[in-house]
Structure 1
């Protein structure tokens, strides 16, 4: 078993033990995981919500360096209210159902 696979299993076990609504997935190499969309931006909290908040706040002006951009992103992250993050995470089951209803294809979140 590769180090990556071992770490994924450890992470899944940790989450399974602490998150009641955890959805497990078979990550074995023999399976093509066609039923799981691990890279879907529609199912990634950072992609469908948080990055747009960070971009609007941290990237509204040019940065002189990568370090400046990093500092701006950290500052923007720290300004996001916990309630916003909670709302985005709580919306995930609805997004997941919309993805299922769309047969795994793209869907609009309305």
Structure 2
């Protein structure tokens, strides 16, 4: 699912939780039903807020908690982990290759191209990306949490 927000919108915890309520939660009910699933996010400020973490705890069967503050090592996820985020290590490069091969005259053109590229990502491709995760996790452990690739 790809969601665009107005470029002037500041994604604070309230906007983020509204987006989760409006989009993520209904989508997961449709896709997973009663099956277990895990939600992963990065360390953006709106994601780290205690209120957001409480919301996720209440609405997701499982989620990977992030540090709530740089002084608090209370999360389960490395704070800067693009090597372990499927969006960062795979999806963004697919979207960039497909949607940004040529310049766009305006933002709407870019959005259309991104939506088209997003919809062209096959289930097979997504399965391969997810199946690659354990190997990437082992590489991260072998690198003592440092960058690898």
1:56 matched residue in structure 2: 97
Q: Which one of 59, 70, 79 corresponds to residue 38 of structure 1?
A: 79
| 1:81 CA displacement | 0.4
| 1:40 CA displacement | 1.6
In 2: Cα distance, 1:7 partner to 1:35 partner: 15
Q: Which has the higher contact order (CA 8 A, sep 6+)?
A: 1
1:84 matched residue in structure 2: 125
2:135 matched residue in structure 1: 94
In 1: Cα distance, 2:84 partner to 2:130 partner: 11
Runs of 5+ unmatched residues, structure 1: 17-21
How big is the alpha-carbon RMSD for the aligned residues of Structure 1 and Structure 2?
A: 2.5
Tell me the TM-score normalized by structure 2.
0.57
Which SS does the other structure have where 2:130 is aligned? helix
Runs of 5+ unmatched residues, structure 2: 1-12, 15-48
Does residue 73 of structure 1 match 2:114?
A: yes
1:8 matched residue in structure 2: 53
Change (3 A) 1:15 1:71: farther
The aligned length equals 101
| Preserved CA contact (<8 Å) 2:82 2:88 | yes
Which SS does the other structure have where 1:47 is aligned? helix
In 1: Cα distance, 2:113 partner to 2:145 partner: 35
Tell me the TM-score normalized by structure 1.
0.75
